Amino acid sequence: MIKARSGETLVKNRHQNLGLSDEVVLSMYENMLKARRVDERLWLLNRAGKIPFVVSCQGQESAQVGAAFGLNREKDYVAPYYRDFGFVFAWGMTIKEMMLNNFAKAEDPSSAGRQMPGHFSYRKLRMLSHSSPVTTQNPHAVGIALAAKIKGDDLVSFVDFGEGSSNQGDFHEAANFAAVHKLPVIFMCENNQYAISVGLKHQLACAHVSDRAIGYGMFGKSFDGNDPLAAYAAVKEAADRAHRGEGPTLLEANCYRLMPHTSDDNDMTYRTKEEVNEAKKHDGVLTFAAYLRSVGVLTEVREKEMEDQIRNEIDEATDYAENAPFADPDSVLRYVYEEKN
């Protein structure tokens, strides 16, 4: 347990043991905070009638950011899913690009406003495009790894999805394929306890999503999804295994979805305020900040600087995205097929 900082700290420095510098863990926290603050702003914009839809990341930032830091951000391929704000920020997407995505403007790098928000894609960052029927990205991540194996390229292919997705046929088919061919894939399930309204016990009969790994002959592990250091360690270990030719890994980050499924959902029809309030006590954005303060890494001054900078960036990005043009309506006919010349 992390205890508040007092005269003498009782908290062990966990990040040093993982080989992470103070600057790196501060950068982790900054990305988590970015994701949280952007998410909060999106809800305001939605309720103010400025954007039609929000799909939220809150409660999953720690696992997302920790995972991204566990990969090679210059080289690896990633297939994040629609809640992965923390992941895509840590992977190189900017707040401005995120706002353009949510306002569905022409400059949105994911799809120029063609897809709903959160359907991330960014070729220059080796981030695959994905769709709304869930889990379809899993076989794609396996295909990236297969291609890399054929070409002799040393890289890891990482894919994220929810626990509801772990029931899909594509989850199974992709996991089995990757294991049979010993491919360098990391499957990371962000178990946020809910597939819209359907809770975990109505989604799976096994105790953990990671229990399924053994059925595929692959390594599986669950970790505390509110702890970015646990996510970092698990993903780093899985990546090391992949590089050693030991094949895929199935990870499960145990999180909690703090917000409704989307801005169109009312979660109070299927869960209680008390349950959500209890989960908020374990919110990784708060507990990681407390940890960083307690080990003396996050000072008051630094924290304020971070908050101010993120707020300014969000303000500027919101103005920019709101005023940016939509794609030309005639562009609806573009890029159905390759356009020669």
Partner 1 sequence: MQLPVLSYIEAVTQALDEEMSRDENVFVMGEDVGKRGGVFQATKGLYDKYGENRVIDTPLAESAIAGVGIGAAMYGMRPVAEMQFSDFMLPAANQIISEAAKTRYRSNNEWSVPMTIRAPFGGGVHGGLYHSQSMEAIFANVPGLKIVIPSTPYDVKGLLKASIRDNDPVIFFEHKRAYRLIKGEVPVDDYTIPLGTADVKRVGTDVTVITYGLMVHYAMQAADKLAAEGISTHILDLRTVYPLDKEAIIEAARKTGKVLLLTEDTKEGSVISEAAAIIAENCLFDLDAPIRRLAAPDAPAMPYAGPLEHAFMVKPEQVEKEIRNLAEF
In this structure, what token pair is assigned to residue 338? 């390759």
Give 159 or 253: the residue with its C-beta nearer to partner 1.
159
Residues 88-127 that bind partner 1 (CB under 8 A): 109-112, 114-115, 119, 121-123
Give 174 or 231: the residue with its C-beta nearer to partner 1.
174
Cβ atoms 29, 289 nearer than 8 A:
yes
Angle CA(36)–CA(41)–CA(43) in degrees, nearest 5?
Answer: 100
β partners of residue 158: 78, 186
Among 270, 271, 302, 320, the one annotated catalytic? 270
Cβ atoms 279, 256 nearer than 8 A:
yes
Stretch that binds partner 1, among 28-36, 84-92, 147-155, 250-258 (CB under 8 A): 147-155
Query: Of these, 57, 88, 90, 148, which contacts partner 1 (CB under 8 A)?
Result: 148
Count of residues in contact with partner 1, rule CB under 8 A:
46
| Side chain identity, residue 118 | G
Residues 174-193 that bind partner 1 (CB under 8 A): 174, 176-177, 180-181
Give 273 or 340: the residue with its C-beta nearer to partner 1.
340
Phi-psi region of 217 (alpha: psi -120 to 50; beta: other; left: phi over 0): left
User: Closest distance between partner 1 and the C-beta of residue 76, in Å?
Assistant: 12
202 tagged catalytic = no
CA atoms within 13 A on the CB side of 292: 27
User: Closest distance between partner 1 and the C-beta of residue 131, in Å?
Assistant: 5
257 tagged catalytic = yes
Phi-psi region of 49 (alpha: psi -120 to 50; beta: other; left: phi over 0): left
Query: Of these, 28, 35, 104, 146, which contacts partner 1 (CB under 8 A)?
Result: 146
| Side chain identity, residue 338 | E
Does residue 144 touch partner 1 according to CB under 8 A? Answer: yes
Give 312 or 331: the residue with its C-beta nearer to partner 1.
331
DSSP, res 299: -
Does residue 221 touch partner 1 according to CB under 8 A? Answer: no
User: Closest distance between partner 1 and the C-beta of residue 326, in Å?
Assistant: 13
Give 98 or 128: the residue with its C-beta nearer to partner 1.
128
270 tagged catalytic = yes
Residues 297-316 that bind partner 1 (CB under 8 A): none
Element of type H or E holding 138? helix 137-151
Task: Kindly list the distances between the CA atom of residue 97 and the CA atoms of 56, 103, 192, in Å, as whole numbers in the listed order.
Answer: 16, 10, 25
Cβ atoms 292, 300 nearer than 8 A:
no
Question: What gap in Å lies between CA 164 and CA 168, rounded to an integer?
Answer: 8
Among 119, 257, 291, 293, the one annotated catalytic? 257
Give 20 or 141: the residue with its C-beta nearer to partner 1.
141
Start-to-end CA span in the chain (Å): 61
Residues 48-77 that bind partner 1 (CB under 8 A): 77
Binding mask 262-301 for partner 1 (x = CB under 8 A): ----------------------------------------
Query: Of these, 14, 73, 149, 302, which contacts partner 1 (CB under 8 A)?
Result: 149
In this structure, what token pair is assigned to residue 141? 């991540």
Cβ atoms 179, 248 nearer than 8 A:
yes
Query: Of these, 9, 13, 27, 129, which contacts partner 1 (CB under 8 A)?
Result: 129
| Side chain identity, residue 266 | N
Does residue 329 touch partner 1 according to CB under 8 A? Answer: no
Mention every residue, 6+ apart, whose C-beta is less than 8 A from residue 260.
56, 266, 267
Pick from 125, 55, 49: nearest CA to 85: 55
Interface residues with partner 1 (CB under 8 A)?
77, 109-112, 114-115, 119, 121-123, 128-129, 131, 133, 136, 138-151, 157, 169-170, 172-174, 176-177, 180-181, 334-339
Q: Which residues are catalytic?
A: 257, 261, 270
